[in-house]
Amino acid sequence: MKILIATVKPFAPVAVEQIRDIFNEAGYETEVLEKYASQDDLLHAVKEVDGMIVRSDKIDRQVLEAAGHLKIVVRAGAGYDNIDLETASARDVVVMNTPGQNSNAVAELALGMMVYMARNLFNGKPGTELKGKTLGIHAYGHVGREVARIAKGFGMETLAYDPFISKTDIINDGTIPVDNVEELYEKSRYVSLHIPANEKTVQSINYDLLKRMPEEATLVNTARKEIIHEDDLLRMFREREDFRYVSDIAPGCAETIASEFPGRFFFTPKKMGAQTAEANINAGVAAARQIVAFLERGDRKFQVNK
Ligand code: 3PG
């Protein structure tokens, strides 16, 4: 069996080593394609492979059609909006993710960006503290839960909205569940986004929600830039001088925000929530084990294109 690790944004070398070890033990060949410059490089590399590990790499129809032997793709991470699930299913390719494996890294970044913004981007002027402030967690999955755990260490009051998680589970974590999304934004000085990007959520973070946030509001996005309604985001920036936005990767309207609203935003230059050695090892090793388990025993746990 031949497995390709295709990562435009490479894993830490220690993670690649551990992935290789798992495939060596299984008697598989490992190929690595990192930092590739064009989609053509990927199209060429997938020709002979039986399995793939990817991150946010675009696995579209063209890639799937070029991969004639492909049986499984594992997204080492949570969001699989980069993979064409319909085409994968039509071609009998199993798609999996590795839920929870990189969530602590993403949660730490969310809190880190909050501290950075609360301290005025470390410009030396007096800022504010997170202690005693309300944090609304929009979707209480793996990352949301880690965010709540760390935020409590800062002394924040945590609230969460997630229609798919039982209120008891949220309460048991010491977080207050709210009944609807509007209430979450009304009650939270900080809102941290943890929803996936899909047809229901794209551009769903709009002016109607944002305008409800109290004074000195900060929106924290370590999810996907596509979930933000960018015209509404700009409107919010214009109408509310107290509003701030921190995001793991810049929005399309970053230049406008930079020129019109200095000091009120922070964007990472590259998506880096999951860019820690630990997260790379956790997600990469989980992905490798899932591939072996599927190819050897037909184990389909974590399949997302059922
Ligand atoms: C995820 O969906 O797991 C995170 O957004 C991390 O994505 P990345 O592996 O591309 O950094």
Mean pLDDT, the chain, rounded, equals 98
Classify residue 205: in a domain, yes or no.
Answer: yes
Is the same domain home to 151 and 227? yes
Q: Is residue 100 lining ligand 1, measured as CB closer than 6 Å?
A: no
d(CA 290, CA 31): 17
What global pTM score does this model have?
Answer: 0.97
Is the same domain home to 116 and 227? yes
Is the same domain home to 96 and 111? no
Query: Which residues are registered as beta bridge partners of 32?
Result: 5
Classify residue 178: in a domain, yes or no.
Answer: yes
Is the same domain home to 57 and 200? no
CATH number at residue 249: 3.40.50.720
Is the same domain home to 259 and 285? no
Q: Is residue 56 lining ligand 1, measured as CB closer than 6 Å?
A: yes
Atom of ligand 1 nearest to the CA of 248: 5
The per-residue pLDDT for 228 is 98
- Residue 190 in contact with residue 245, Cβ under 8 Å? no
Average pLDDT rounded to a whole number, residues 50-68: 98
pLDDT (tens digit, 9 = 90+) per residue, 215-268? 999 999 999 999 999 999 999 999 999 999 999 999 999 999 999 999 999 999
Q: Is residue 77 lining ligand 1, measured as CB closer than 6 Å?
A: yes
- Residue 173 in contact with residue 148, Cβ under 8 Å? yes
| Gap from CA of 283 to ligand 1 centroid (Å) | 10
| Gap from CA of 235 to ligand 1 centroid (Å) | 28
pLDDT (tens digit, 9 = 90+) per residue, 186-197? 999 999 999 999
Is the same domain home to 107 and 247? yes
The per-residue pLDDT for 296 is 98
Is the same domain home to 30 and 80? yes
Classify residue 292: in a domain, yes or no.
Answer: yes
Is the same domain home to 79 and 12? yes
- Residue 265 in contact with residue 292, Cβ under 8 Å? no
Q: How confident is the model at residue 277 (pLDDT cuts 50, 70, 90)?
A: very high
Classify residue 306: in a domain, yes or no.
Answer: no
Is the same domain home to 97 and 116? no
Q: Is residue 78 lining ligand 1, measured as CB closer than 6 Å?
A: yes
Query: In which domain, by residue range, is 37 found?
Result: 2-101+275-297
Q: Is residue 79 lining ligand 1, measured as CB closer than 6 Å?
A: yes
The per-residue pLDDT for 170 is 98
Classify residue 132: in a domain, yes or no.
Answer: yes
The per-residue pLDDT for 306 is 84
Average pLDDT rounded to a whole number, residues 7-23: 98
Classify residue 305: in a domain, yes or no.
Answer: no
For 290, the token pair is: 């899932």
Quote the number of domains for the chain: 2
Q: How confident is the model at residue 137 (pLDDT cuts 50, 70, 90)?
A: very high
Is the same domain home to 23 and 122? no
Q: Is residue 158 lining ligand 1, measured as CB closer than 6 Å?
A: no
pLDDT (tens digit, 9 = 90+) per residue, 169-185? 999 999 999 999 999 99
Classify residue 302: in a domain, yes or no.
Answer: no
Is the same domain home to 107 and 234? yes
d(CA 209, CA 183): 9
Classify residue 303: in a domain, yes or no.
Answer: no
The per-residue pLDDT for 68 is 98
Q: How confident is the model at residue 294 (pLDDT cuts 50, 70, 90)?
A: very high
Atom of ligand 1 nearest to the CA of 223: 5
Is the same domain home to 25 and 63? yes
